[in-house]
Every structure is written in C-alpha cells, then in structure tokens.
Structure 1
Amino acid sequence: MNLEYALNHPNVCAEQPVEDCGIIVFGASGDLVHRKLIPALYGLALRRLLPPRFYILGFARSEMTDEVFRERMREAITDAHGEQPADTLNAFLAMCRYTSGSYDDPAAYEKLAGRCSVCDLDFDSSGNRLFYLALPPELHPEVVERLAQAGMTSEGQDHKPWARVVFEKPFGHDLQSALRLDARLGKVLAPHQIFRMDHYLGKETVQSVLMFRFANAIFEPLWNRSYIDHIQISALESIGVEHRGGYYDKAGCLRDMFQNHMLQMLAITAMEPPISFQAERVREERTKLLRSIRPWPEDDPANWIVRGQYMAGPPNILPNTQTGTRTAHSALPDYRRERGVAQDSETETYVAARLLIDNWRWQGVPFYLRSGKGLQRKVSEIAVTFKRVPYSMFGMTSKAQMPANVLVLKIQPDEGIDLTIQTKQPGPKSCMSSMSLSFKYQEVFGVTPPNAYERLLLDCMQGDRTLFWSSEGVEAAWRLIDPVLDMWRRRPERCPLHRYPAGSWGPEAADALLVNAGHRWRRPPEMAGTHTAFF
C-alpha cells in the first residue's frame, strides 16, 4: 500500500461532533499536564478538532497568575511540538486561565466555580465542563466530593449542560481499595460521567486491532484455537524508573502495567465481536474476556509467572533504524540505587506470564505477556503466531525450514502491521524464504500517529467511553491480579525475584515459561523483520 492508494480510497469515519466546553485540569502545575495533556490539546487544535468555543482552566495548589500559567503552557507545547507559528500558539494560549487552592478546601471550590462561570461568559461556552484529575489517586474521591458539594458535577435535563470527570490510573491499589473508590464515586457521579483513563487504549495500533479483526473477512475466521498457535503481548522499555522511583517502588510492574495496560491489550486482542460498535457493547465484551482468564495456580506459580528486578548493566548500544547507525545509551544504575527506591527493595520491574483463556474460541491457546524496565529495546507489540502447515510437500519439516506465519501489530515505535509469510526465492532452485508484508502508518499516510491522549481527550469531549475502563472491567482485572500480589507477599519463595542486568532481555527464568511449550520470546532479528515487501 502506498500513500496514493490510501488517499484515493475514501475514509469511513464515525466521529461525533464536539460540543463547546470548558476543560478544568486539576494538578495543572504537574508533570503529566506539561508532558502529555497540554501538548495533546494543542495537537487537537492543530487538527481543528477542538470545539469552536472552549477554554482551559488550570487548578493546583501552586499560586501563579494567568500569564505565568500561559508561559508554562507555551514551554510545554514547544517542548513537545517544537517552535510553532506565533499566531497559532498565541490564539491557543489565550484560551488558558488559572486559579489556585487547596484540594481539601471548600472555599477553593467555590472560587473555582466562580471562575468557571466567568469563563463560560467570556468564551461564550454553553456550560459543558470536563474535569481532568491529573492527581495522585488518593485525592480522587475527595476532589470529586468537593466538586459535587460546590454544584459543579450537576447536569441539566438530558445531560445538557454535561459534566464529566476523567481519572488517571491506577484505579485503586488492590481489589478492596478499587471497590471502595468505585462506591464513593458512585455516590456523587452517574456512570456516564466517569471516564477511567488508560492511555494504552488510545494508541493508534491498539485501536486498529478492532478494525483489523472485525472489518476484514480474511482474518476473523482464523482468529481462534483452530488456526492460532500462541500469542505474545510485549510492552518493553529500555529506560529505568527515572523520576518515578518513589511511586514505582510502591506499585511495581504488576500493578503499573499488567493490571491495566497489558490486560486491556489482551482483552482487545481476544474479545468476542460486540453486537455494535457502541461503548457499552465493546466494554462488555472486554470485561467478559477478562472474566474468562484462568486464575494463575497458587501451588505452582513459578511455571506461570516470573518476576524480576534490574540491576546495573553496561551502556546499551541500540541500532537507529532511521540512520542505520548505532547509538549508545547511558548505563542504568541498580534499581535499588534509584532515587526514591528502598535499598532492600523487593519490588518487581519485570513480569512475564503465561495464561490461558477458558472459553470456546481460545481453549488451549497460550497467551504470553511480558513487560519491564531497563531492557535492551523499547518495543510494544502484539504478535500472533499461526499454526504451522500440517504437512510439507516440499520436504522441509523443521521449524527453521518451515516457520509459522506471524502477524505483528506494532504499537510503538514504528507503528504498523507486519505479516510474515513463506515464498519462493527467485532462481532455478526451489528455495523458500520468509518475507514480511509490512506497512507503517507514517509511510502510508504521511503523518505521525497522534498522541494517545489526543484520541482519548477527544472521546471525553464527545462522551464516547469505548476506550475507557468500566467499573466491571476494573474489578475483573483486580480479581486476577490480587491473588498474585497476595502470594508474593505471603510466600515470596514460591515465585522468587530474579535479578537481571539492565540492557538485557530480562531474567532467564522468563524463557522457561515458553520453552516448556516449544515456544520462545520474540527477539531480534524477528522484531526487526527480514525481507520486507510493502503493501
């Protein structure tokens, strides 16, 4: 496929209109707002996807004027997007205002309500409000209750004007805390007002899985135990915990990645087709899939799940696919020497797991999930390995001679899709070779896929909860994860913490999860591809 083909074929879009609204950002002086939210909102403005009348009102403890806030937002935008045309940037910043106060002070919310009313008048907004809580999760219940007491979460007839609240993960620290949080939110918010954010669901390739499966008749009939041998889902990072050591040491990889991102990617990959592409129907099928996952056995956990922690390693030398050169990355320190991490920490920075799904479609098909920090390469992908041909008439019988077809959905970097097939090499002899049919979003469409937060913020403004967690989904995920955390706490010797050098592919013990079943983790050159032909 090339750009000319893509542009000459009509696009089918199902976008809802975006209504005028105010975007009230709690924690507006924090890192998440600087790195993600404001750049994403500006990205929507560049694509002309924001409503014609809107405003952004920041709220945090730090005192600052509107002008200082705008300068900070200017810096955030240029950090993310580079230098921008002055007229475009200034027009966006003119929509930004700021107010300060304590998150537990009722007077601060009365002041905030007054600023919102003034902004509604100044920007001719219709009173719709989107509250984004870029705050530590422990503050969420009190902030929402204070908003309700100040009358800011009330909606009019037929939800006009509307009020919606966006919550960043994690959704609780364990099952009981998640249930308590849900109960408190349910007392002051209606279900349609709650948007539980998981930015992985906003990534372009993750969204594409649904259309890839359910809009192409050649793949969905093969998407089951009869044709698929196993599936690997990876979310690997080459960086360490960086500035998040204090948070990460209390959470760990299982809470930080598996309970949300990894299980959601699994659910989208394996769910049954919903009866329609409506939010509640899609969310129901994701939850059904999560409930179908077989719990990990407590009597033999080491053969199902492996945990590791990185230690100091040598500088990481990585290939640069753009220039063909190799780039050296600084060596990481031992995790236990990272800032904010306990010197005797037993927190896992890597988890690999094998799991089974007990339903008609997937019975007996192993799913392998892995995520970690301090690894050799940054890569997130979903790799579907199909069963090998039952008989080879070419006289080639080994896996090396007759490898399986593999479909890889690349989430990041180099977003795209690869399909590895077998074909004849040119020449007078019957020689077989693997070839990757590949496309990259940037090469085909000529644009970089948008930031995941752009997609999700747009959905919030449209009231579309398709790519957000439901309370039932959160509960199902915690019911799977909680027993593992409890077992690690009570019987750590049953699933020991394996130390692995930074810059490696993780602990060797993770390989045994696959080897015993005749499989192995994907590593270069598989992740880089072999012979490539572009669609």
Structure 2
Amino acid sequence: MENFSIVIFGATGDLARRKLFPSVFDLFRYGHLPEEYRVIGTGRRDLSHEAFRRTVLEALRASPGAGGFDEEAIAPFLRRIFYVRLDISEPEGYHRLHREIMDASGQSGVCTHLLYYLAVSPGLLPLIVRNLQAAGLGGKNLPCRGWRKIIVEKPFGRDLESARALNAAVGEVFNEDQIFRIDHYLGKETVQNILVFRFSNGIFEPLWNRHYISSVQITIAEDFGIRDRGAFYEEVGLLRDIIQNHALQLLASVAMEPPVDLSADSVRDEKSKVLRSIRRHTPADAGTAIVLGQYEGYREEKDVDPRSEVETFAAIRFFVDNWRWQGVPFYVKAGKNLGETRTRIVITFKCPPQNFFGPSDSCGYTANQVVMTIQPEETIALRFGTKRPGEAVETDPVYMKFDYRDSFPGEGLTAYHRLLLDAITGDRMNFIRQDSVEHAWEVVDAIRHALDGRHPEPYPIHSDGPASASGIYG
C-alpha cells in the first residue's frame, strides 16, 4: 500500500471522536496502514500536537474497540497524529496545513497522496474545497504521480438544487472519481450481504420479483430522541437525515437488477436505475401514502424551536415503476423515540393459490418472509408455515435463522473502518455517486412538495409512531 496522509476537517468534533479516530486506529492495529503515514487533524482550537494527541487518546479509551488497549500499544499510533489550527473560512489556515504536509517531504508518499475527510456539515464543502485549491491542495493539479481523494458526510445538500450546487462546487476542484460520498450503512456487513444473498442463491434469485413478492418493508427505528443534536435536526429533519440516504440506499440494494460485474460503476449503475424508477409522490396520493410525525416533547429539547414543525418520524409507501417491481409496495418507516432500536428489511412473499390449512384469508399469518436484521443484531431469517402439534391440522409460523456472530465469531470490520479502507484503496462501490444523490433528492423533494405544508402528527415516546401510520400499509 502506498504511503499517504489523512487530513480530518472537524477533528475535534463528535463524529471524529466517536467514529473516525477509533476507526483509523482499527486500520493501524489490523495492519491496514502503510509503513509511513500521517493523520492530521484540523480545528479552530489552538492546540499543540501533544495536546491533540491527548484528546485522541481519550477518544480511543472511550471507544468499545480500542478501549481495552493500554497506552503502550497505542503510543506508536499517537506518534503519527498531528494537528493544524484551521478556521474553515480563513485562507491562512490552509497554508499552515500545506506547510505541515510538506514538512514531512522526507517520508515518501505522505505529501503527494492525500485523503481528506470532511467531518463537518456538507454545506461547508464549497468553502473548504476552494480554499484547498487556493493553497495548492486541490484534487486536479496533482504533484508527480500522487493521488488526492475527499470523503464527504451526508446529507449531501438540503434538496436537489443545493445538491447540484454542491456537486458543481466540488467538481471544480475534484474529479468525480476522487469524491467519496459516505453513508455508513453501506459499510455494514448485513447491507453488503444483500447482494450476495440475492445473486448467489438459486432458491431466491428466481423469486425476487413482482410475481412472487407481495411487499417489502424497511424499518429504521431508534428508541432514543435527538439527544444533543437539536440544532442539526432543526435544520435537517428526518426526511433529510434518514430517508434520503439510509432508507433509499437500502431500498435500492433490495430492488436493483443484477450488475454485469462487481465493479463499482456496474453496481452503482443498477442502484441509480432503481432510484430513478421510484414513482414520485404527488399531492393527490400524499394523504394515503405519507405520514410524518413528531415525538411528544421534541419541542422542549435543547436548541429546538418551541413551535417547530420538524418531523422525527416518517412512514411512506413507495412504488418502483419498472418491469421487475411494478405494483409491489415498498413500505419505509423510520423514526426517533420509537419502541425499539432496530433496522430491518422484511420481504413478504405471496400466498399459495389455495390455502388448505385454515381460512382463506389466514395466509398472512404464515406467509413466507425473508427478514434481514441489520442492527442491533445481524441476522437473516426465513419464515415458513408448519403444522402445529396436535390432532387438528393448524399452521404456525417458524423461523430458520442465520446469525453473523454465531457463524463468524470474532471481531469484524466496523462500517467506518471498512469504508475508510475502501476509500484508501480506491474502491467506490460502497459510496454514493452523484447521479444517485440527485435521484434521491428528487424523491424527497417530491414528498415535501406533495405534503404542501402539512404538519407532522404528534406521537407518544416509545410508541410505534402516529396512529394514522398504520393506514400506510394498506
């Protein structure tokens, strides 16, 4: 692997502390970093290298994965950590960053190969990339044979118009193949396993279409509220935070056609086609296809407007208008402060033509299902009907279950660890391409326009959401 430097913008923030530095440390302890590398954090605080290393050490000690390591084991990693004071809006900080990078010119590759991670609001992206360009650190004027890549956090924009503006701004400084738009769900083992499950198993692949599947349900539920993210949620809301990226990416993984090969662009081509095929909602169907909610007490949260109309829940019925899925409903439900924390995909198959073992309408109770649980556990279960013991011929649903922890014991790669490694090696399959971002925003913009200012419905904490959401499922 080539030597390189990782530059983290927002290195003193919550995301860097909880996810990025523990994940970069994982790269180190798994041997996924080259002999020479540097990790350069930037932030507005005036810190020495040593003071910043102490903050990184505290983050690692608080991390579940790295917390069990003693300081001696972490010390070689900390020696590769550096800090540059940088105010995003001031050009001088970027010149300090340039000097810090070039000061290591004796270490082959760490100056010419650069990976930028923007752990900041995507709205700051145009300002950052233009200042990088002005300081000679942009992506298109490369020194020697070096490479430069940039990882951007979601949500990529606020709507289609802003997403296109962001794409144009970053496109002035970086080429599309240098841009890695990250959605950590795509790094989860069970999400990556959707393609393998579908396309490597002959018993499922022929059935994965409108002839045999009656519905698909995707649930992304959390049993906690917005915590300390009031200002962020007031700006974003659940549609932008969850539906536009996590939920639609899961839907695309379930519904995509087989790619011609496993190259990044072939897989992303098929996902993009699905997003483009999603039927756009209109005011005429919004009343029966969309329910937004807000949990009781949200307006009392820190940094939240007392009259806020921001949604913390959504239940939406989608249709994918293509040959494979015409007429099959995709139900998406996501929310904060619901009854449990669980991300799950349920594929329900159609009933047999005749039901010999109960009332004709009872098949729903034992209908075949594939249940993919992404978190908190990582499992895939198959539901089928079987005879209940006794004289009567009555059926009950039973499950065959595969559990990642049982079948593959030991530590696996975390989502951020995997995606950082993919970006370093240049594998873009699990990152979102520009056209997919824009198609997803078209879907979400259509939802917002279709609602025409309708207010979110209140729902009790630790409930299933607004009562009216049950009507979405027909």
TM category, shorter: over 0.9
Are the equivalent residues in 1 in contact too, given 2:112–2:144 (CA < 8 A)? no
Separation in 2 of the partners of 1:483 and 1:209? 28
Change in CA separation of 1:449 and 1:501 when aligned onto 2, cut-off 3 Å: farther
Separation in 1 of the partners of 2:39 and 2:241? 29
TM-score (norm 2): 0.95
- The runs of 4+ residues in structure 1 deviating greater than 4 Å are 154-159, 425-431
Per the alignment, residue 226 of structure 1 pairs with 211
Are the equivalent residues in 2 in contact too, given 1:310–1:373 (CA < 8 A)? yes
Are the equivalent residues in 2 in contact too, given 1:374–1:503 (CA < 8 A)? yes
Per the alignment, residue 378 of structure 1 pairs with 341
Change in CA separation of 1:55 and 1:346 when aligned onto 2, cut-off 3 Å: same
Change in CA separation of 1:432 and 1:163 when aligned onto 2, cut-off 3 Å: same
Output the amino acid matched with 2:472: L
Q: Map 1:54-203 onto structure 2 (within 5 A).
A: 54-80=37-63, 81=65, 82-122=67-107, 125=110, 127-154=112-139, 160-203=145-188
Q: Map 1:309-324 onto structure 2 (within 5 A).
A: 309-311=294-296
3-state SS of 2:161 partner:
helix
Structure 2 spans left out of the alignment, 5+ residues? none
Are the equivalent residues in 1 in contact too, given 2:282–2:450 (CA < 8 A)? no
Per the alignment, residue 24 of structure 2 pairs with 41
Output the amino acid matched with 1:502: I
Separation in 2 of the partners of 1:237 and 1:244? 14
3-state SS of 2:82 partner:
strand
Change in CA separation of 1:399 and 1:43 when aligned onto 2, cut-off 3 Å: farther
Deviations 1:422-442 (A, max 9, x none): 234556765533221112111
Per the alignment, residue 316 of structure 1 pairs with none
Separation in 2 of the partners of 1:268 and 1:335? 32
Output the amino acid matched with 1:211: V
Are the equivalent residues in 2 in contact too, given 1:309–1:349 (CA < 8 A)? yes
Are the equivalent residues in 1 in contact too, given 2:3–2:110 (CA < 8 A)? yes
Deviation at 1:181, TM superposition (A): 0.9
Deviation at 1:83, TM superposition (A): 2.7
Q: Map 1:215-364 onto structure 2 (within 5 A).
A: 215-311=200-296, 334-364=297-327
Output the amino acid matched with 2:318: L
Per the alignment, residue 193 of structure 2 pairs with 208
Separation in 2 of the partners of 1:120 and 1:341? 47
Per the alignment, residue 480 of structure 1 pairs with 443
Separation in 2 of the partners of 1:159 and 1:186? 21
RMSD after superposition: 1.9
Change in CA separation of 1:158 and 1:295 when aligned onto 2, cut-off 3 Å: farther
- The alignment-based identity, stated in percent, is 40
Change in CA separation of 1:426 and 1:449 when aligned onto 2, cut-off 3 Å: farther
Deviations 1:35-62 (A, max 9, x none): 1101111122232222332211101111
Structure 1 spans left out of the alignment, 5+ residues? 1-17, 312-333, 518-535
3-state SS of 1:195 partner:
strand
Per the alignment, residue 8 of structure 1 pairs with none
Number of residue equivalences: 472
Separation in 1 of the partners of 2:382 and 2:30? 31
Deviation at 1:399, TM superposition (A): 2.1
Deviation at 1:126, TM superposition (A): 6.7
3-state SS of 1:64 partner:
coil
